[in-house]
Amino acid sequence: MRYPRGVHLTRSLVIVLGSASVLAALIGLIQLVSVWVGIEADADMGWFFLALALAILTVFGQSSSWLRRLLADEDPSAHRARRSVVWVLVSAVILLIAGLKIGSTDTDAYKSLVFGEGGLVEWSQVIILASACRVAWLIGADLRGQFQSPFPHLLARGFAVILGLLLMEELAWGQVIFGWETPESIRSINAQQETTLHNIGWFQDRLDLFVFLATLTLLLIVVLVPRISKRVLRRLSSQRQSLIQAIVPASYIWPLFLLVVVLAYCVATRSFSEVIVNRDQEWGELVLYGSGLLLLLRTRILLGPSEKKYAEF
């Protein structure tokens, strides 16, 4: 079977990758000019590496049918390809983190390069969360048409609202964009002196533990729910089976969530502190948001119409 929404997503993804490549290159050039004229002290060269990587992915996605099969087809070979891609993503994240650490002169330089204001990780989180909000909202519209009960529709829309709150926290409720001064009443109790809730006093002291427990819970859900659903599906009609399968998390995505849990555990317990620093939790959040977006896109595609796939010659 082939899903038209997956085909449309493939085209949109190629356009987004190409646009993002141009944008990343422009940001890198702007930073270089800012350094040259003395406005900024240092430029983040990661923008150019990102632009190059995105350009390569754009060319590959445009010229190859593999990406379309990966996103739109339902058959054993496409399923195996998706499993392989998940492991490639895990390996790529590990190699990226290791490469940035090795390439930096010290820990402070690494933190400044990767996690500075306006850096790659911070804005990648924002873009992914904004996309996830939109997809979750659209899933709510799909569920409203397929369930008589309003609960699934409201649950999806509620999840979109939660993602929106996370997005606003990442943006410090607009402070990252508009750069206003943090009110003194918040500055005095905020660990990062920003207009955020999760960095305030009691939350900040327990944030690492909460993140670890939350990510561990999500990993268990991703691993166990697909197994449990197989038993439930046997007693449902074929239409309901397809609907539930679209909502249930993909079983093959667990390695990404495991990577998030490992990072969260190391940060929470200060394990391997000579290798994993506290700011590496930002990588875990990026992977977590990206994994969530992948699951939402999968659900959105599977909730749409499908058609028989004919052999390509």
State the pLDDT at residue 309.
Answer: 64
pLDDT tens digits, 239-270: 777 888 889 999 899 999 999 999 999 999 99
State the pLDDT at residue 278.
Answer: 87
The answer to whether 244 touches 220, Cβ cutoff 8 Å, is: no
pTM score of the predicted model: 0.87
Place of tokens 């010290």: 106
Low-confidence spans in the chain with pLDDT less than 70: 40-41, 116-119, 201-202, 238, 309-313
State the pLDDT at residue 313.
Answer: 36
CA distances from 130 to 74, 106, 288 (A): 27, 33, 14
The answer to whether 59 touches 228, Cβ cutoff 8 Å, is: no
State the pLDDT at residue 163.
Answer: 95
Closest alpha carbon to 6 in 72, 96, 50: 72
For residue 190, the SS3 value is strand
- Radius of gyration, alpha carbons of the chain: 21
CB atoms within 10 A of CB 39: 10
State the pLDDT at residue 230.
Answer: 81
- Rounded to whole angstroms, the Cα distance separating 153 from 170 reads 26
State the pLDDT at residue 202.
Answer: 66
By residue count, the chain amounts to 313
CB atoms within 10 A of CB 235: 8
Residue 274 sits at φ, ψ, to 5 deg, of -75, -15
Q: Which two tokens stand for residue 258?
A: 């495991």
